[in-house]
Chain A
């Protein structure tokens, strides 16, 4: 097979980009054990209680990027409810009842500083600490400063976090070159229509071009 000079340049460029350990830009999103992020958030049985504190759970993951222009974390989501009884004039749980927020971003020791990582508007809160006034869902959506899963379902590839270059390399063997991000989910157990609920949040880290 014969390549012209132009193709050779392109191939070498691509090879340089795709070769781990080279001076190239890349980004990595893993769980906190440096494996693929595939986490479950089991809210379990959401029996209504006499409390104004939402049920909550959180997921942590690590992000690495050595792209000079920085990174963005995108989120997409799907949500499904399978009622096991008719609504009978009541309300069935929906994605808008599940609060989603980035509750912390912790810098590794070898990350570039000073850093200005920006949590997207509406996602910069901790759903676990929002009181359920009158026992009802306290999350009004991203526009109100309390994002829900519905905001992500309605807007695939929503940027929820962005920032500058994280470190000079993105190797996952380095335990100091990443940011640890905590996403917290909140849901108030209520007298919703009997149902099972499930959803999947997909996170993707990409370069800022």
Chain B
């Protein structure tokens, strides 16, 4: 047999691959084959943490508090106002602001005025009595700067002079439209409404001085608090 140029007898025919290398090659092919059969799948995880603002009662439930003046004390020889409070918990993952708005003062069983005065929203003081913001999962703590809008911060109610409605810093009549009363930076570092240390606890107060207003069997108004992004 010739290849055209050389006499085959002069060429030593050798295997293309040495048998001594077979185990290595076979192993390599086995590995490649194994890799070729390695099956892969993918799982994609997706989600969103939305902007979140929460205003709840002290149990983490929807806020529906009642500030009660019932029974209304009879006018007395006193300069001390009747008052009550409602405590709310606020959480947010962003800087916030809170506004308050008082509805119409409704009365029941209203007698004749007979030339006298009937109780009105301007006879009720309204304000923020305290802001507690030192929970372990409260952001920017210590050093938070929750700011009560001027006039709404109440450390104690003013005394009545001459038995008349005292000079409240702010009255319910000042918030007949939605009015910002508080603002601050992000509140919660994390956690949810069940977390016991990621909120700012705010106590709102309402006060009035019992007087010889036109008789009624009851009065009420709804104060709506709204929390939103700054």
Contacts and interface: CB of A to CB of B under 8 A. Distances in A.
Contacts of B196: 134
A95 B38 CA distance: 26
A135 B30 contact: no
Contacts of B61: 50
- Main SS of chain A's interface residues? mixed
Interface string B134-147: 00010111000000
A183 B44 CA distance: 12
Interface in A1-42: 2-7, 9-10, 13-14, 17-18, 25-31, 36-42
B94 interface: yes
A103 to B, nearest CB: 14
Contacts of A45: 47-48, 50
B44 A91 contact: no
A35 B94 CA distance: 43
Interface residues of A, number: 78
Contacts of A195: 48-49
Interface stretch (B15-23, B124-132, B165-173, B207-215): B15-23
Interface residues of B, number: 60
Contacts of A200: 42-45
A144 interface: no
Contacts of B140: 88-89
B49 A42 contact: no
Contacts of B191: 48, 134-136, 190-191
Contact of A10 (B17, B38, B44, B141): B17
A14 B95 CA distance: 64
Given A6-B16, A85-B51, A204-B39, A43 B93 contact: no
B195 A41 contact: no
Interface string A60-87: 0100000000000000000100001101
A52 interface: yes
Nearest to B60: A50
Most central of B17, B25, B38, B95 by chain A CB within 10 Å: B38
A199 B44 contact: yes
B5 interface: no
Interface stretch (B63-71, B75-83, B115-123, B182-190): B182-190
Contacts of A40: 43-44, 46
A203 B56 CA distance: 43
A88 B184 CA distance: 11
B186 A6 contact: no
Nearest to B185: A88
26 contacts: A7-B16, A9-B26, A27-B37, A28-B37, A37-B40, A39-B43, A48-B193, A50-B60, A50-B61, A61-B41, A88-B95, A88-B140, A89-B186, A93-B49, A135-B194, A187-B47, A191-B52, A191-B188, A191-B189, A192-B93, A193-B93, A194-B93, A195-B48, A196-B49, A199-B44, A203-B42
Given A45-B47, A48-B191, 10 more contacts: A6-B19, A10-B22, A26-B37, A30-B39, A85-B94, A89-B139, A90-B188, A136-B191, A191-B93, A200-B45
